[in-house]
Structure 1
Amino acid sequence: NNNEADLFHPRFILRQTAEKMIIRYFGCCIAFFFSIILSAKALMMRTGMMMKLATIDTLKIKVLESDAGAALAAEDALRERGGGTLNAKCKLRLFDTEKEPRLILYRDPSYWCPYCAKLSMQLEEKRIPYKIEMVPMRSYGIKSQDFLNKVPGGFLPAIELDGNVYTESLDIMVMVDDTFNGPEHRRTLPPRGTPEFEEARQLLGLERQLFRSWCDFVFRGSLGSKRAFERDLHVVEKELERGGKDKPFFMGQSDPGIVDMQYFSHLERIFASVAYWKGECIRGDYKKYPNINAFFDALEKRPSYALTRSDFYTTITDIPPQYGNGVFDRMAPKQHSYEKAISGAEWTLPMNPDALEVKLQPGWEEFEPNAHIEALFRLVNNFSAVAKFASRPAGEGVGRWGTFRPDRSALADPEAKPAKGQALSDVEAALSIVAHILADKLEIKAEHAVTLDEIISDAKRRATTASCLIYLRDRIGVPRDMSYPAARALRCTLGWTVEHLQKKKI
């Protein structure tokens, strides 16, 4: 019936209600069915992405297939036999001889001690065969009793020559120059009694004067300290003018001597600290300091120095606590931006090739193209040790070393113990993602994020793993672990991984 009254009949209303319920039911069933299909498809896609990731052993093989990776492996093999170029892992230096070295150098394992650095450079320049024994600086660890029996004061550097032990770096360098001379070992100090020897003595005195004015300027900030520091630095700049472009070292020499070795290690620290605390750039300012910059340009071409130099971040964090805290010049226009750059404000992906941190530290260009390969090579070939080190925040004893001890480095943790179980497994998983990003030339791919989210989904576990990666990132040292460009690539990759872990998993 089409009567209007029938529309309000109970049976008509019930029938319409039933039809609507049936339609809604089938609609829900269809929607549920399609949601299952889509979920299954998404799961298959995510599983497929996870399965694309290779194992660490596979990455070890892959990195060796590259020219840069093969070169790193070959160089390491040479170093094991006492050859190759010097780096922080060397324990033996033979210089094409098979004779047992007469000399043992006791130095810090991190290559952070400036006094060890200049002695090491002299031995390399003179090509004196020597063994290397690693002893921590007192701010970073406990010296062994065997070493203290030989050197009761625990001083570094120390050498053992023909069974006799010597300390005080400059005294050692003069003795080494006298002991090892002739055609095989060029002299690094002029003969005594000559005008050149007296000039060298005066330049060594100037270095001590510059060191004192630097300490006063950076760590005490007393009235007039900046003027005194800049005065001494300009005297050094003037002294380096003598040789011109062809002879950029002190006293107009074409090869570095003891005077040059005495200067470079503290000039490195001056560059980093003055930029960080005072907002002033010295390295790279060719207009104001052309000769000092030419001096370092020449040094960076020497095998004795190239692979043992540090970066600004490492230098700032490894300055011994005994120096005191640097005094910030908050009125300097560039101080805050320099501080942020050196502290890692841009440690994330994608990497910024024009980052201020990079501009402050010229001279690393030859390492840049293969930085990701070097970082990957060092990570995958030390994967287990790196993962255990990184897991310390989830373990025991972190920070105990420096607690109530201002004379100890805050970043040193010799008493910390690694985590075990799930926490260590999570760190290994996160570092595996880091390795894959490095293998993919620092390009973030979907499978990186998907796999990380699937393996570490719990919020608490993600937070713990992030803290472990931060711990590792902040302790990557140059040159101890790798070159600066490689360290930057690894720091940035760790930074991106931390950011992803700290995001709420959807």
Structure 2
Amino acid sequence: MLEEKQIPYIVEKINMRCYGPKPPDFMAKVPTGLLPVLELDGGPPITESLRIMVLLEQEFPDHKPLVPRGNSQEVQRWEQLMRLERRLFSDWLGWACSDWNQAMGKVRCEALLDTIEKELKVAGGPFFFGKDISLADINMVPMFERMVASLAYYKGFFIRGTGRWPAIEAWFAALEQRPTYLGTHSDYYQHCHDLPPQMGGLYFSDEGYPVAAQIDGMDGQSWRLPLPPLSATSLPEPFSAGDSPPVDTLEAAASLIKNHEAVARFALRGVGKPGPRPVSAPLSDPTAIPALEHMAAADMALRHVAHALLVGVDEKQVSEHALQVTASEPSGPAAELTGMPIIPAAAYLRDRIGVPRDMRFPAARQLRAHLNWLADSLVAAVA
């Protein structure tokens, strides 16, 4: 909303509780610990997303309007859509967080999706109020995005990519054309691993396990080269903006090179020691101690990954800078890349690439796949 209305702002990042205690100075301001929080021009902290967004609309009326004004019928419909978002939240969690009466949870979600489909057609789409985005869309999409990801992962239930709800498909496609949305748009993998620590657990149905294996890259294919193209109908995860491998690999390489020292240190947590501050999120260990004695090997390994991203694996492996590993008493630089510690370090990094914190989804899948190429090459050499 801040980006759509072009309101100047400063972001201060505060962790959720599942990633450890919140900073004392934040708790002094917000004793409940709730996120997000708005401090408007030095005023008192304001919590709750919808309350914040309504206030921003009121305080910045000359910026792009996102809520209907004057037309009582449109205002009434906007209020109805706000209630519909709460129903989405309830029906989604009612199924995702339950391991009983799966059929009823599915029926309720399908009925809800049918309702949303109709609402998106009222003004001609692709957004709830027609051709341009509104607060109804901005308020709905964070929960909807998580619903789409988690129901595919845990229940094997696809909302996007099947053509069953074409207006919803068109809505996501329109959102994915907006840089303001892509700046916060996560991928299914991130959602499905950051939701359980926040919500206390989600439950699988039998249909969910094979989809989860694909999303997690555990099926032996989905996180390995060559990657299948992305599209509005690609499964398990559609991305209507599509992919462009030359652009995506360049983005991944640029991020890796720009932050190479920090990334290498982070990867070495995979062979380091657990941190002294325990957290409830399994993929997070903010105080972990990296095994910095392997820094030279990690740096070399990531240079190989960056080179592969820039020129392609096939071209790299026929060049003078090919990745060379051996199982028997290697000498020279290859010795540093045999077996431990690079294999677990690469896997640790691969499983923690954040979308869009580190890069967009198409770039992230390229980096994950190239890290698997590195690890698989090392595994093969010591097998």
TM-score over 0.5 for the alignment? yes
Which structure: larger Rg? 1
Task: Name the residue aligned to 1:478.
Answer: 355
Of 474-483 and 358-367, more deviation after overlay is shown by 358-367
Contact 2:256 2:306 in 1 (8 A): yes
Contact 2:317 2:323 in 1 (8 A): yes
Q: Deviation per CA, 1:256-282: give whole Å up to 9, x if none.
A: 111111111111111111111111221
Distance (Å, rounded) in 1 between the aligned partners of 2:203 and 2:162: 22
CA 1:243–1:441: 2 relative to 1, 3 Å = farther
Return the offset for 1:216: 1.2
Task: Name the residue aligned to 1:139.
Answer: 18
Question: Which runs of no fewer than 5 residues in structure 1 stay unpaired?
Answer: 1-121, 403-407
Distance (Å, rounded) in 1 between the aligned partners of 2:116 and 2:353: 32
CA 1:416–1:358: 2 relative to 1, 3 Å = farther
Q: Deviation per CA, 1:212-240: give whole Å up to 9, x if none.
A: 11111111143221111211121111111
Distance (Å, rounded) in 2 between the aligned partners of 1:383 and 1:347: 26
Return the offset for 1:429: 1.7
Task: Name the residue aligned to 2:204.
Answer: 328
Return the offset for 1:378: 0.3
Contact 2:297 2:336 in 1 (8 A): no
CA 1:349–1:230: 2 relative to 1, 3 Å = closer
Superposed, 1:50-449 pairs within 5 Å as 122-164=1-43, 165-182=45-62, 185-191=63-69, 194-223=72-101, 224-244=104-124, 247-250=125-128, 252-286=129-163, 288-330=164-206, 332=207, 335-344=208-217, 345=219, 346=221, 349-354=224-229, 358-359=234-235, 360-365=237-242, 367-397=244-274, 401-402=278-279, 408-421=280-293, 423-443=294-314, 445-446=317-318, 447-449=321-323
Contact 1:283 1:361 in 2 (8 A): yes
Distance (Å, rounded) in 2 between the aligned partners of 1:374 and 1:307: 15
Distance (Å, rounded) in 2 between the aligned partners of 1:203 and 1:163: 32
Contact 2:355 2:361 in 1 (8 A): yes
Return the offset for 1:468: 1.0
Return the offset for 1:301: 1.5
Q: Percent identity?
A: 37
The amino acid across from 2:193 in the alignment is T
Distance (Å, rounded) in 2 between the aligned partners of 1:351 and 1:140: 35
The amino acid across from 1:440 in the alignment is V
Number of residue equivalences: 369
CA 1:336–1:491: 2 relative to 1, 3 Å = same
The amino acid across from 1:147 in the alignment is F
Contact 1:401 1:412 in 2 (8 A): no
Return the offset for 1:387: 0.2
Q: Deviation per CA, 1:349-384: give whole Å up to 9, x if none.
A: 532325899532222325544111000000011000
Distance (Å, rounded) in 2 between the aligned partners of 1:367 and 1:478: 17
Return the offset for 1:209: 1.0
Distance (Å, rounded) in 1 between the aligned partners of 2:281 and 2:49: 23
Q: Deviation per CA, 1:427-467: give whole Å up to 9, x if none.
A: 112111111111212435054331686535379x6232211
CA 1:369–1:449: 2 relative to 1, 3 Å = closer
Please point out which of 364, 369, 375 is paired with 1:487.
364
The amino acid across from 2:227 in the alignment is N
Q: TM-score normalized by structure 2?
A: 0.89
Q: TM-score normalized by structure 1?
A: 0.68
CA 1:398–1:431: 2 relative to 1, 3 Å = farther
Return the offset for 1:477: 0.9
Task: Name the residue aligned to 1:67.
Answer: none
